Amino acid sequence: MKDAPDSRSTLVVRGLQKSYGKRLVVRDVSLEVGCGEVVGLLGPNGAGKTTSFYMIVGLVPSDAGTIEINGADISSLPIHRRAVMGLSYLPQEASVFRKLTVEDNIRAVLELQHDDKGKSLSKDAINARLDSLLAELQIEKLRENPALSLSGGERRRVEIARALATNPRFVLLDEPFAGVDPIAVIEIQRIVRFLKERG
């Protein structure tokens, strides 16, 4: 498992651009985010917010610009290497494995993690981290429930737990309130505050 996130960590994006054919969908997006900061990327539908996230996490290549974590250029790295560098992404669309239980959704991510020596986590380490994430996101009582039975707010909490399973320095939340009821919006706001305090 990676060390705890460094409070001095920075994500710096400079001059990102993306075109599809002759259509320019993102022009000159730049931002700088420190660990523990909450920053919003605002704009109307079709403004390029999701495409910007896709470029930052490595789902689509940028046509121009750079992306750095702690001064290291990650612009050409594939998505899994960016994740190892501390970048996690929660897409706008539902991303749980619907037929798996809540516990197995999180375990699936934990089983891909490594310790400080590059070895796969032990079963005990996975179980301890799983229990910790379930408690942090207040979803222990849902651990045996299939993901397809969850409300929008419960599903979002499971998705956030999975995003945190990689022990990221930065979590990009794309439309975190999409598909959730007004009560769940309050829960997710609380979770965002929790993530900020967590660093």
Q: Residue ranges of the domains in the chain?
A: 10-198
Lowest-confidence pick of 5-19, 36-50, 103-117, 172-186: 172-186
The percent of residues in the chain predicted with pLDDT above 70, rounded, is: 95
106 versus 197: the higher-pLDDT residue is: 106
Looking at domain 10-198, its CATH architecture is: 3-Layer(aba) Sandwich (3.40)
Enumerate residues 6+ apart whose C-beta is below 8 A from 24: 17, 18
51 in Cβ contact with 25 (< 8 Å): yes
The residues facing 14 across adjacent strands are 66
For the chain, the average pLDDT equals 88
Measured CA to CA, the distance from residue 15 to residue 35 in angstroms comes to: 21
Predicted confidence at residue 199, as pLDDT, reads 65
Measured CA to CA, the distance from residue 130 to residue 107 in angstroms comes to: 7
Predicted confidence at residue 2, as pLDDT, reads 44
